């Protein structure tokens, strides 16, 4: 026979097993039996508010209003539903679904299919869930495994994660692991190495050393504390990789700084300037400002609006330096275009065009065109054709040769 047990307000009652339902008045305290003490209810527990359970709780469903405290484990077969209140569990919480209007605190582990909290969710242990939906903030100290995290404010996970999708309106920080998709409105940080498929952040991203993944799209800045492997990077502001970067393509609106080498199988586009301690390599390199590296290599084109500074040289099929630009270091390409009033050092190519007012040290090529007002401070050697306009300053007479040097 099913029981319907009611405990009056402000009472203190010791219970054991109830084959039925349990209703608690306001400010009621429940104690259990056994070691550790426990209360088991086959039906629903309903709390009118400000209730305290000094024991482990087992039930089919758990409902209530206002604040409820469980000083033990809360194990619910189906759902936990607390309206306009705060639920504290000083043990583990296990249920199919948890819905709390204000705050949920779990001192142990949280095992649920879905958890929906209007205010804040804090878990000291591990979290194993299908979906986490929080209006304010979500904090967890232990490992978090879930398909989806949807938080309006902030997320702080101190341990590693295994998450399919993270959607956060404000800021998020995790302790490494794997996230398939990150969508954050403000800032995102991983304090240990992270594997990812896509990161989409409106503000700033900071990743730990040896992070690797797919596409990164950031409105502000991207910083990595070491090496980074990626598919594509698109950043509106600044990129700083404190190690080497390897990927398919990179597009940066402002500045990029690489402490090691940058190797791309596709294109590099930088609106401002890029600096690398080692080599920069890509299929095409397009920089609006300056490029500084030990060596710059492109399978096809290098186009620089401002200047190039290398110690080992610039190598590509096509190289163009813009008007009033500068190349410090040797340049070797099939085709080289030196813009008006630009300055280069030693250049070697098949077809070379020096536009009016350009300066060069030594020029070596098959077919050369040197326009009005150019200055050649060293020598000119060519194997095919040479066209020199008037008012060109030459340190030596051009020399037609059978072979050109292999390097400059």
Residue pLDDT, tens place only, 102-126: 999 999 999 999 999 999 999 999 9
Range of the domain at 68: 1-108
| The pLDDT of residue 10 | 96
Asked if residue 143 has pLDDT above 80, the reply is yes
248 — pLDDT class (breaks 50, 70, 90): very high
Rounded Cα–Cα distance for residues 368 and 350 (Å): 8
> Helix-strand-coil percent breakdown of the chain, rounded to 5?
0, 60, 40
Q: Residue 240: phi, psi to the nearest 5?
A: -135, 110
Q: For residue 102, what is the enclosing H or E element?
A: none
For residue 370, CA distances in Å to 264, 319, 374, 394 come to: 34, 16, 7, 11
Asked if residue 1 has pLDDT above 70, the reply is no
Establish if 212 belongs to a structural domain. Answer: no
Residue pLDDT, tens place only, 343-386: 999 999 999 999 999 999 999 999 999 999 999 999 999 999 99
Residue pLDDT, tens place only, 181-206: 999 999 999 999 999 999 999 999 99
Residue pLDDT, tens place only, 294-346: 999 999 999 999 999 999 999 999 999 999 999 999 999 999 999 999 999 99
Output the six-digit token pair for 406: 């292999």
Sheet containing 359-360, strands listed edge to edge, beginning at the edge strand earlier in sequence:
359-360, 375-376, 393-394
Establish if 91 belongs to a structural domain. Answer: yes
Q: How many domains does the chain have?
A: 1
Question: Left (φ > 0), alpha (ψ -120 to 50) or beta: where does 50 sit?
Answer: left
What residues pair up with 110 in beta bridges, in sequence order? Answer: 93, 127
Q: Greatest CA span in the chain, whole angstroms?
A: 114
Q: Which residue, among 142, 157, 134, 149, has the nearest Cα to 184 in the 3D structure?
A: 149
Q: For residue 148, what is the enclosing H or E element?
A: strand 144-151
3-class SS at 122?
strand
Q: Residue 346: phi, psi to the nearest 5?
A: -90, 130
| The pLDDT of residue 2 | 72
Q: How many residues does the chain have?
A: 408
| The pLDDT of residue 27 | 97
Q: Which residue, among 131, 154, 159, has the nearest Cα to 144 in the 3D structure?
A: 159
Q: What average pLDDT does the chain have?
A: 97
For residue 129, CA distances in Å to 134, 168, 178, 374 come to: 13, 17, 15, 71
What residues pair up with 340 in beta bridges, in sequence order? Answer: none
Rg (alpha carbons) of the chain, rounded to whole number: 34
Distance of CA 108 to the CA centre of its chain: 30
407 — pLDDT class (breaks 50, 70, 90): confident
Establish if 208 belongs to a structural domain. Answer: no
Bridging pattern class, strands 380-382 and 359-360: unpaired
Rounded Cα–Cα distance for residues 382 and 386 (Å): 7
Query: Token pair 């909290």 is at which residue?
Result: 117
| The pLDDT of residue 103 | 98
| The pLDDT of residue 408 | 85
Residue pLDDT, tens place only, 35-92: 999 999 999 999 999 999 999 999 999 999 999 999 999 999 999 999 999 999 999 9
Mean pLDDT (whole number) for 2-9: 90
Establish if 62 belongs to a structural domain. Answer: yes
Establish if 387 belongs to a structural domain. Answer: no
Establish if 84 belongs to a structural domain. Answer: yes
Establish if 236 belongs to a structural domain. Answer: no
| The pLDDT of residue 343 | 97
Share of the chain above pLDDT 70, in %: 100
Q: Which residue, among 351, 316, 308, 354, has the nearest Cα to 333 in the 3D structure?
A: 316
Establish if 70 belongs to a structural domain. Answer: yes
Distance of CA 266 to the CA centre of its chain: 20
């Amino acid at each position: 026979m099913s029981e319907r047990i009611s405990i009056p307000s402000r009472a203190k009652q010791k219970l054991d097993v109830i084959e039925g339902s349990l209703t608690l008045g306001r400010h009621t305290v429940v104690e259990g039996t056994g070691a550790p003490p426990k209360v088991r209810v086959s039906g629903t527990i309903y709390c009118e508010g400000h209730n305290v359970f000094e024991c482990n709780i087992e039930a089919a469903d758990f409902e209530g209003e206002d604040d409820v405290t469980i000083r033990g484990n809360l194990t619910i077969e189906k759902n936990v539903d607390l309206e306009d209140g705060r639920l504290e569990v000083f043990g583990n919480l296990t249920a199919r679904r948890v819905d709390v209007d204000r705050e949920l605190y779990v001192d142990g582990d949280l095992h649920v299919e879905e958890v929906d909290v209007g205010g804040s969710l804090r878990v000291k242990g591990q979290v194993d869930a299908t979906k986490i939906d929080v209006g304010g903030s979500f904090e967890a100290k232990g490992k978090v495994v879930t398909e989806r995290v949807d938080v309006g404010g902030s997320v702080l996970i101190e341990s590693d994660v295994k998450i399919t999708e993270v959607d956060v309106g404000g800021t998020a920080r995790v302790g490494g692991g794997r996230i398939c998709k990150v969508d954050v409105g403000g800032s995102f940080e991983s304090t240990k190495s992270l594997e990812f498929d896509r990161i989409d952040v409106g503000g700033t991203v900071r990743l730990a050393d040896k992070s690797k993944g797919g596409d990164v799209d950031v409105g502000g800045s991207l910083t990595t504390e070491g090496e980074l492997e990626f598919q594509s990077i698109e950043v509106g502001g600044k990129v700083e990789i404190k190690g080497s970067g390897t990927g398919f393509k990179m597009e940066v609106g402002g500045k990029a700084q690489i402490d090691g080498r940058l190797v791309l199988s596709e294109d590099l586009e930088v609106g401002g300037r890029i600096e690398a301690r080692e080599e920069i390599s890509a299929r095409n390199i397009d920089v609006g400002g300056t490029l500084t590296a030990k060596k710059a290599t492109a399978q096809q084109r290098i186009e620089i609006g401002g200047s190039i500074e290398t110690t080992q040289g610039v190598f590509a099929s096509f190289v163009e330096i813009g008007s009033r630009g500068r190349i410090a270091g040797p340049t070797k390409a099939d085709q080289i275009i030196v813009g008006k009033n630009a300055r280069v050092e030693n250049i070697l190519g098949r077809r070379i065009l020096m536009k009016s007012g350009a300066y060069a040290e030594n020029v070596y090529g098959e077919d050369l065109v040197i326009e009005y007002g150019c200055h050649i401070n060293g020598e000119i050697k060519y194997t095919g054709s040479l066209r020199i306009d008037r008012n060109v300053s030459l340190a030596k007479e051009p020399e037609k040769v059978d072979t050109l040097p292999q390097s400059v």
